[in-house]
Structure 1
Amino acid sequence: MIKKCPIHGVFRGTACTCGEAGSLILDDEQTERLGRFISGALRHFPDDLGLAMNQHGWVDLDVLCDAMRTRYKWANKEKLISIIESDEKKRYEIQGRKIRARYGHSVDVDLDYPDNTLPELYYGASREEVDILLEKGLKPIKQRYVHLSTSKEKALEVAKIHTDDPILILVDAAEAQKNGVRMISATENIVLSEDISPQYLKLIQG
């Protein structure tokens, strides 16, 4: 659920970090339903909802709210923004009257984030797929970019969503970028990349 603390603003859970119970904005079911709607609208099918997305993934916030209200009469802009502001993974961002997803797109976008500056990045994989990845490289599957993690811990956390026994691949980001592979920093934990050849990959846990 999402609630609002009079001191610290919106938060997820039963109580704010300060102990304040807060006032309810969205219950668990509403949070999940709106979260799925926002993800679909900003990552996968903006055209189906009448959203004009520019090349960098931005859509008009008010137009998104209008599309949302046609499906969920109980929803409003405050509830939508509460989902964005309380999201610990920072999946979305708002600038003025525009909103976009930071990562996870299946539609063709050209995100304009700064270039990655970390020399090494990480990718978590299952044991069943790791040999193929090391042989053929990393390529986006059903997404616009390859999603890399900035730490071993985050890579394992992501991989554990899909496998109980993840292993890590080290990505030589510095060398890859030096040779023309574009990598951009979407959040402090996620770097988005174009295709990465096997020569920049190394198994570091197995």
Structure 2
Amino acid sequence: MIRKCKEHGYFRGESCPDCGEEGRYVLDDDREERLGRFVSGALRHFPEDVGIEMDSLGWVGLGQLCDVMKKRYKWGTMERLISLVESDLKGRYEIEDNFIRARYGHSVDVDLISDYPENDLPYLYYGVSQEETDMLLDNGIFPIRQCYVHLSTSFEKSKEAASVHTDNPVIIEVDANAAQQDGVDIVTVNADIVLARGIPPEYLSVVELEE
């Protein structure tokens, strides 16, 4: 559920995490999920299919997206669209100057490398299944269904992300400092995720945990 606190803005849950106030109702769980799926599809995978124009950096007009959304969901309003973005703990979307875009997760080809700041962390992490480990160490990490490789900024975040797909993930460490010095572009999109077109194998190693 999405609600709005007068002092702290939109939040998800029953009470504001900053002050505990109940806030004003904006969107229930079912509509939040339906709207989230629509926005994800429109901004990441099939903008043309829903009738919106996306520029090379992934931006679409906020008003244009809202108009298309209203045709599909009569209850869809600009406030509810904005609340979905501003309350998202994963930071999946951003709004700027009446434009909106997804920060990551694209299957349509957009240029995010030139529009986000360069990563400044020396090491990054990528969680994989036991079966995938040797193949990635030999061949590198490259996108399959998406345009970019999504790396995590911490060991914990990579394990959390990989645990969605495998019960006992192996965490690969990426020597981002060396890779970037050698010309591999890696950019930061939010506090948890960085993107790259690919990471060659020479910058990869398995994190060895102490027994």
Q: Same fold (TM over 0.5)?
A: yes
Residue of structure 2 equivalent to 1:59: 60
2:200 — aligned with what? 197
1:2-36 Cα offsets, whole Å, 9 max, x none, are: 01112211110011121211121110000000000
Matching residue of 1:83: 84
2:137 is the counterpart of 1:134: yes
Q: Report how far residue 45 of structure 1 moved.
A: 0.4
Give the match for residue 74 of structure 2: 73
**1:29-44 equivalence runs, <5 A:** 29-44=30-45
Q: Which runs of 4+ in 1 moved over 6 A?
A: none
TM, length-normalised to structure 1: 0.97
CA distance in 1: counterparts of 2:67 and 2:33, whole angstroms: 19
Residue type of the partner of 1:117?
Answer: D
Question: Could you tell me whether the CA contact under 8 Å between 1:167 and 1:205 is conserved in 2?
Answer: no
1:175 to 178, 187, 199: 178
How many positions carry a matched residue from both structures? 206
Aligned match of 1:93? 94
| Structure 2 residue identity aligned to 1:11 | F
State the Cα distance separating 1:189 from its structure 2 match: 1.1
| 8 A Cα contact 1:121 1:150, kept in partner | yes
Q: How does 1:93-132 map to 2 (within 5 A)?
A: 93-111=94-112, 112-132=115-135
8 Å Cα contact 1:93/1:102 also seen in 2: yes
Note if 1:157 corresponds to 2:168: no
CA-CA distance at 1:134 after TM superposition? 0.8
Query: Partner of 1:127: helix, strand, or coil?
Result: coil
Distance across 2 between alignment mates of 1:117 and 1:189: 13
* 1:57-110 deviation line (CA, Å, top 9, x unaligned): 000000000110111001110000000000011100000110000011100000
* Secondary structure of 1:82's aligned partner: helix
Cα distance in 2 for residues equivalent to 1:67 and 1:205: 49
* Aligned-pair CA distance for 1:205: 3.7
What RMSD in Å do the two structures reach over aligned CA positions?
A: 1.0
- Secondary structure of 2:143 counterpart: coil
What TM-score do the two structures reach when normalised by structure 2? Answer: 0.95
Judge conservation of contact 1:152–1:168 (CA < 8 Å) in 2.
yes
Moved more, 5-14 or 74-83: 5-14
Query: Unaligned stretches of 5+ in structure 2?
Result: none
